[in-house]
Structure 1
Amino acid sequence: MSLLVLSHRDVSHPARGLSQTLLSSCLDYLSGRPDIDAARIGVYGEGLSAALATDFAASDRRLVAAVCDGGLWNWARMQASVVWMTRAAEAREEGSVTAQRTQLIRRLGCPVLVVTGGRGAVSVSEAMKLQTECIEERIDLDLTMPRMVKSAGGCIENFVTSDDCIFGWLNQKLALSAALPAQPNDLPQISSHALGH
């Protein structure tokens, strides 16, 4: 498998679409290499890079797996902006909120792993709502929460088990993509296992 790992500091650009153009060029390069299987390339971003990974996976259908934020960072920013501009903290209809959140994730054409808590920038409760919506819509989205180790200085994320979980998920999804012929009209299947619990 091949993995395009994103760094927000190196790739992020304020001009809309410029980051995706740069990343698509990187994917063009990887896909053209004889030692790379173009049918088994995924993208991985953590922290703010997870939002970039979501945007890139939504804009480039060649990716077959994405470790990203599932659109939750941009969703939270949009919601905060709407509340700030309207100065209204009133609750919106749950059906409307669900439809908008699901619309964001539906743009991704590949299986998604959202890392919540720990070094991830995604709220656990929002990620769980998104996963519930994805199950109902038959969208392939998994969640993982890093295990924390208590120490005298507080809680420390167990990076070894977190990385094992993430790369195990990527290996499984990228192996499946190589084994199955592409069916563009099929809905992605829901994974039935829990990760990192």
Structure 2
Amino acid sequence: EPGHRKEEFLFKLVPHARERGFSLLALDLLGDQRDDYLDALLRRRDLESAIPCVMDYLETCSEVDFERVAIVADGWGSSFVARAVLQEPRLAAAVCDGGLWDLHERAFFASRFAMSDVSIVPVPHAPLMASSADCPVLITLGEDGWLKADRARQIVQTSRLGSSDVMLKVFTAAETGAAQAHADNPSLANEYIFDWLESRLGAAGRI
């Protein structure tokens, strides 16, 4: 996600991927730009278009099992990965915010302007949980994070289609991993995430 660097991502996730025989590719959308470029980047409406380009590249790599490619978003700066999942049918699984940010933002503006029909509030694209994804999606959050667990559950229950394979995992303060981005115990959350990926993709493969 914007605001994070690939080196941080690799440091946190490589051990979990290696344990399960997965390969890992980290994408840094900031490129060689400085962090103060973030505001300009987030104003772009096509941020998610980077993901199909990466999939095009992976499809040319003979060492990649292209039927078992998953995407993992790190951080909740936006829902651009969730929007990318809607545009990319080649993904086998996704771990992201599921469009919670977009849906929460839509509800906020609807209440702010007393709109009775929240569907007329513009968001960049249709949120993932209000559409039909081609792959299973895992959403993880901590109960002490920026979006309260009850609100997240409400959004998931009222927004996703009955046929959508969307799973919400809330980490409680008792088990740790409850802070924003699971900062109090990222290893616990990442173990859960990669166990879920392994259950979806199978063991000893590559993503």
AA aligned to 2:90 is R
What is the CA distance between 1:113 and its match in structure 2?
0.5
Name the structure 1 match of 2:111: 83
AA aligned to 2:148 is S
**Superposed, which structure 2 residues align to 1:107-122 within 5 Å?**
107-117=132-142, 122=147
2:193 matched to 1:166? yes
Name the structure 1 match of 2:69: 41
Q: Give, in whole Å, the separation in 1 of the partners of 2:82 and 2:73.
A: 8
What is the CA distance between 1:43 and its match in structure 2?
0.9
Deviation per CA, 1:133-165: give whole Å up to 9, x if none.
Answer: 478713211122333179xxxx96222221110
CA distance 1:120–1:58, shift in 2 (3 Å): farther
SS class of match (2:67): coil
Name the structure 1 match of 2:43: 14
Q: Give, in whole Å, the separation in 2 of the partners of 1:120 and 1:39.
A: 34
Structure ranking higher in strand proportion: 1
SS class of match (2:45): coil
Greater displacement, 5-14 / 121-130: 5-14
AA aligned to 1:72 is L
Q: Give, in whole Å, the separation in 1 of the partners of 2:153 and 2:184.
A: 20
Contact kept in structure 1, 2:110 and 2:117, CA below 8 Å: no
CA distance 1:149–1:83, shift in 2 (3 Å): closer
What is the CA distance between 1:15 and its match in structure 2?
2.8
Name the structure 1 match of 2:168: 143
CA distance 1:131–1:103, shift in 2 (3 Å): same
Runs of 4+ more than 6 Å apart: none
AA aligned to 2:190 is D
CA distance 1:25–1:136, shift in 2 (3 Å): closer
SS class of match (1:34): coil
CA distance 1:57–1:136, shift in 2 (3 Å): closer
Q: Give, in whole Å, the separation in 1 of the partners of 2:142 and 2:168.
A: 10
- Runs of 5+ in structure 1 lacking a partner? 97-101, 179-197
Q: Give, in whole Å, the separation in 2 of the partners of 1:144 and 1:125.
A: 12
2:102 to 74, 92, 105: 74
Contact kept in structure 2, 1:69 and 1:115, CA below 8 Å: yes
Report 1 or 2 for greater relative contact order, CA contacts < 8 Å, sequence distance ≥ 6. Answer: 2
The TM-score, its normalising length taken from structure 2, stands at 0.62
Contact kept in structure 2, 1:112 and 1:140, CA below 8 Å: yes
CA distance 1:27–1:78, shift in 2 (3 Å): same
Q: CA RMSD in A?
A: 3.8
Q: Give, in whole Å, the separation in 1 of the partners of 2:160 and 2:108.
A: 26
SS class of match (1:142): strand
Contact kept in structure 2, 1:111 and 1:141, CA below 8 Å: yes
Q: Give, in whole Å, the separation in 1 of the partners of 2:59 and 2:144.
A: 30
How many residues were matched structurally?
A: 164
Name the structure 1 match of 2:53: 25
